[in-house]
Amino acid sequence: MSIAGRIAEIEATLPEGVQLVVVSKTRSQEEIMEAYAAGHRVFGENRVLDMVDKFDALPKDIRWHMIGHVQSNKVKHMAPFVDLIHGIDSAKLFEEVNRQAQRYDRVVDVLLQLHVAKEDTKYGFRPEDINDFIISGAIQECTNVRIRGIMGMATNTPNEDQVATEFGRLKLAFNHLKKGHFRKWEHFDILSMGMSGDYHIALELDATMVRVGSAIFGPRKTV
């Protein structure tokens, strides 16, 4: 099946209002343009400089999401154009996004990344630490960043119960923050979870955004 065909197939399974992020990391401009020609506009990359190259080369109505781990010193490269940064995992990174957004007179949308997987390699705040960050004052001072929601990844395992438990923790944290701290923030409305292998589980747990790469483009040769 074509790239456009697979996107259409996935879109057809998504509940109303759920956003598909087509994960285009490692993919060529030609592959991305196939999805673009089929009408898709939201793409996810995990390396800042790759995303900048693609932004420069491709149509300007593409909305670029940074889904990977971000080093603070790379924020400046994407600050002029990035649409949503999924992986805010420290106060330092949050403050740097604010500083760079100010330079470009923008308000940049971000998600707080939560660590719920068993693997040590996955970045993110621990759910028990997120409150410390929220009450730290950084959020009130950083007026050029808008926290739109939560992002997370489940453990890479065939055990669907475990994956559902981990997505359940993300959902709980999202609802908790929405009811508590962000009650007055009408824009706190994104729960980004689910990839090619597990987005069907994430949808059962009310994901509002799924990030899908290999189910659209085929297996990746590199990460």
Ligand X SMILES: *Cc1c(COP(=O)(O)O)cnc(C)c1O
Q: How far is the CB of 176 from ligand X (least distance, A)?
A: 22
Helices (H), the chain: 3-13, 29-37, 48-57, 75-78, 91-103, 130-134, 138-141, 160-179, 199-204, 214-217
Q: How far is the CB of 58 from ligand X (least distance, A)?
A: 19
* 195 binds ligand X per the rule CB under 6 A: yes
List 147's β-bridge partners, or say none. Answer: 110
Choice from 42, 48, 67, 78 touching ligand X (CB under 6 A): 67
CB atoms within 10 A of CB 174: 28
CA angle 153–150–220, rounded 5-degree value:
35
* 152 binds ligand X per the rule CB under 6 A: no
Q: How far is the CB of 168 from ligand X (least distance, A)?
A: 18
68 vs 70: CA distance, rounded Å: 6
Q: How far is the CB of 211 from ligand X (least distance, A)?
A: 4
217 vs 4: CA distance, rounded Å: 10
133 vs 131: CA distance, rounded Å: 5
Within 107-126, which residues bind ligand X (CB under 6 A)?
none
* 207 binds ligand X per the rule CB under 6 A: no
Retrieve residue 76's tokens. Answer: 């400046």
List 112's β-bridge partners, or say none. Answer: 88, 150
Pick between residue 97 and residue 195 the one whose CB is nearest to ligand X: 195
Retrieve residue 196's tokens. Answer: 């090619």
Q: Which stretch binds ligand X (CB under 6 A): 96-104, 163-171, 177-185, 206-214?
A: 206-214
* Share in percent of the chain as helix, strand, coil (round to 5): 40, 20, 40
Q: Which stretch binds ligand X (CB under 6 A): 98-106, 136-144, 180-188, 208-216?
A: 208-216
Pick between residue 100 and residue 192 the one whose CB is nearest to ligand X: 192
Pick between residue 139 and residue 151 the one whose CB is nearest to ligand X: 151
* 13 binds ligand X per the rule CB under 6 A: no
Q: How far is the CB of 130 from ligand X (least distance, A)?
A: 18
Pick between residue 142 and residue 163 the one whose CB is nearest to ligand X: 163
| Site residues, ligand X (CB under 6 A) | 23, 25, 46, 67-68, 153, 195-197, 211-215
